[in-house]
Structure 1
């Protein structure tokens, strides 16, 4: 007997759960649509499993439909589910939709996390929208988002990779203006990136900025620089940095 026919005799959510367990995603979606028309509340864990299942099948439209029904029924999807949706939107290049979903997360009682922000920022850089990425970061801070949630180390690394060290230094300056002061970990990531690219003058510029901010390079800073110089056969430069 078709499982959908069992709704005549069994509670609807029992059927929904059974459909999900048996991998009948499309039948489960039809049942949820019927429940929505009758103002019935679907089993939320089943909704989450369905959303993830459709996303894995690259059927974003069906996942979005279930998400909408779930939220309208009072359900709150978890971060993993929301982040999967954000990732799929970004994969399609639908950045505006991803940002809209980010805002919906907060309204639904599931605040965005580090993964949410980093996914959107990386997508902006992949699309070449560097200014948009930095602007997005600033805008979220001004909305009261805790700075640690938007991993600014990732932002600075991406700026350095796509726009160069000088532009990355400007972003660090903007961060300080916004009250978000980079730490030695952020600076070390820039030193490491430039060393991997063989850009030792830029790496030295980063170290100069560390000192100008009243900070001290640490063991990781120097080890990264010296190890890279040695690997590239620049033993003389390594000794100079070691003795300086």
Structure 2
């Protein structure tokens, strides 16, 4: 809660009040999360006050022996934006001998890609996979894969699926058990690209896993089929969605019904509508 409060206050130019709040919290013996410090550091960096940001970083180091890489990612992003690439990469390289939590490493990955450091980003991704040895150490999550898969769609489309399934090379590295969010992202990107063959394979793979059915992968695939004028396939997934008991939002359902009816699927739409009514009653 304090993290969100500080972010909001800084966003409206009340950073001095945040500093006062921090002092009050510390004086009362409360533990302050590193993300609060990160918000304040970012606020002062955006004001061009590097000295104050560094002062807060030093304070964070004193209070937290192991602080996460999110703060370093904030510095890197600011240095890059100031065209101080040497300092940004110097900050990054000083971190390479540390084993960060996945959220921290994922933030670093995102900053590297944002500023055109593809080589370093791919090396970091490989290192994260190498370190992924659950239950001992969880080095990646679906956000990590979403970031790198999206990068593949920009530059290495032929490597998307192999990257999505990539595993670290350490003897005890383990594959990441992909969740619905990861499948939704890759299915969405393929639909945007019009490559439905891969989408169908991934959707079937998702359905075969012991994961609860989710709405987004279904709606994304339906839209992809409608865009490609593959009406029967869109109808089939829409029907499957209803049979599975997934909630069909009215605006989406009406739009799909309109498209299907335009293509002559009046009877089939009536059957789906009736079935959806029975499921909800």
Question: Is TM > 0.5 for Structure 1 vs Structure 2?
Answer: yes
1-structure distance, mates of 2:221, 2:74 = 36
TM-score for both structures, normalised by structure 2: 0.53
Question: RMSD in angstroms over aligned alpha carbons?
Answer: 4.5
* Unmatched runs of 5 consecutive residues or more in structure 2: 1-36, 59-63, 272-281
1-structure distance, mates of 2:249, 2:158 = 28
2-structure distance, mates of 1:50, 1:136 = 26
Instruction: Give the secondary-structure state (helix, strand or coil) at the position aligned to 1:112.
Output: coil
1:101 aligns with 2:116: no
Distance change >3 Å, CA 56–CA 204, structure 1 → 2: farther
Instruction: Give the secondary-structure state (helix, strand or coil) at the position aligned to 1:144.
Output: coil
Distance change >3 Å, CA 166–CA 122, structure 1 → 2: same
**Pairwise mapping of residues 218-237 of structure 1 onto structure 2 (< 5 A)?**
218-220=246-248, 224-230=252-258, 237=264
**Pairwise mapping of residues 5-154 of structure 1 onto structure 2 (< 5 A)?**
23-24=50-51, 45=67, 49-58=71-80, 59=84, 61-72=86-97, 75-92=98-115, 94-105=117-128, 107=131, 111-127=139-155, 129-140=156-167, 143-148=174-179, 151-154=182-185
Contact residue 147 and residue 180 of structure 1 kept, 8 A? no
Which shifted more, 156-165 or 101-110? 101-110
Alignment partner, residue 38 of structure 1 = none
Alignment partner, residue 202 of structure 2 = 171
TM-score for both structures, normalised by structure 1: 0.60
Count matched residues: 205
Alignment partner, residue 32 of structure 2 = none
* Unmatched runs of 5 consecutive residues or more in structure 1: 1-16, 32-41
1-structure distance, mates of 2:69, 2:211 = 41
| Post-superposition offset of 1:144 | 1.8
Distance change >3 Å, CA 98–CA 83, structure 1 → 2: same
* Residues 160-190 of structure 1 deviation map (CA, whole Å, 9 limit, x = unaligned): 221333442133346678x677945322321
